[in-house]
């Protein structure tokens, strides 16, 4: 793995029906309402009727003292199952949400395979890899907490 490449996995268990979780994750324009790390979402291109091709510029606040902005283009959508988006800009890679119904609600897995785009991040990645991974996990934790609150469920 290159020094500036990350392969990160996040798992969420939510005591909520699959459709409710899908509806929230499939509408990133509303993420700033419940995900405190998402500062702004701007629609760049609407995509087709299914949402494939939709491109949004998302600005994230992080737990570390920086913001990051990159475009996310929907490349694959399998309703109620999978959302895949391609990142470009300050980060380049693929993010994939996989949703699975469970007896207790919904299991969510997020795979984030990304290369760092900012020169300072590339330069410092070998030393700051643990901090960057911690930061990602913190941002995802905020997403989990916010989604649980939005869905009216207790975090597990």
The CA distances from residue 87 to 7, 75, 156, in Å, are: 14, 10, 29
Provide the residue-wise pLDDT of the chain in tens; the chain has 156 residues: 455 788 999 999 999 999 999 999 999 999 999 999 999 999 999 999 999 999 999 999 999 988 999 999 999 999 999 999 999 998 899 999 999 999 999 999 999 999 877 787 778 777 888 888 899 999 999 999 999 999 999 987
Asked whether residue 13 is domain-assigned, the answer is yes
Place of tokens 């459709």: 19
Length of the chain (residues): 156
Q: If residue 89 lies in a helix (H) or strand (E), which one and from where to where?
A: strand 82-89
Asked whether residue 156 is domain-assigned, the answer is no
CATH number (domain holding residue 32): 3.30.530.20
Q: What pLDDT score does 4 carry?
A: 74
> Residue 28 carries which DSSP code?
G
Asked whether residue 51 is domain-assigned, the answer is yes
- Give just the sign of the alpha carbon dihedral 66, 72, 76, 81: positive
Asked whether residue 22 is domain-assigned, the answer is yes
Domain containing residue 75: 5-151
Residue 133, CA atoms < 13 Å, CB-side half-sphere: 16
> What's the structural domain count of the chain?
1
Q: What pLDDT score does 121 carry?
A: 75
Asked whether residue 80 is domain-assigned, the answer is yes
List residues bridging with 77 in a β-sheet: 83
Asked whether residue 108 is domain-assigned, the answer is yes
């Amino acid at each position: 793995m290159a020094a500036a490449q990350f392969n990160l996995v996040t798992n969420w268990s939510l005591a909520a029906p699959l459709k409710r979780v899908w509806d929230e994750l499939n509408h990133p324009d509303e993420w700033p309402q419940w995900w405190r790390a998402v500062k702004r979402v701007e629609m760049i291109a609407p995509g087709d009727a299914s949402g494939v091709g939709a491109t949004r510029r998302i600005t994230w606040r992080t737990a570390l003292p920086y913001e990051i902005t990159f475009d996310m283009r929907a490349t694959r959508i399998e309703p109620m199952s999978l959302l895949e988006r391609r990142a470009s800009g300050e980060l380049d890679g693929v993010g994939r949400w996989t949703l699975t119904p469970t007896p207790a609600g919904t299991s969510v897995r997020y795979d984030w395979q990304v290369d760092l785009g900012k020169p300072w991040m590339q330069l410092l990645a070998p030393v700051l890899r643990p901090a960057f991974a911690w930061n990602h996990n913190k941002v995802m934790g905020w997403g989990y907490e916010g989604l649980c609150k939005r869905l009216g469920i207790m975090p597990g």
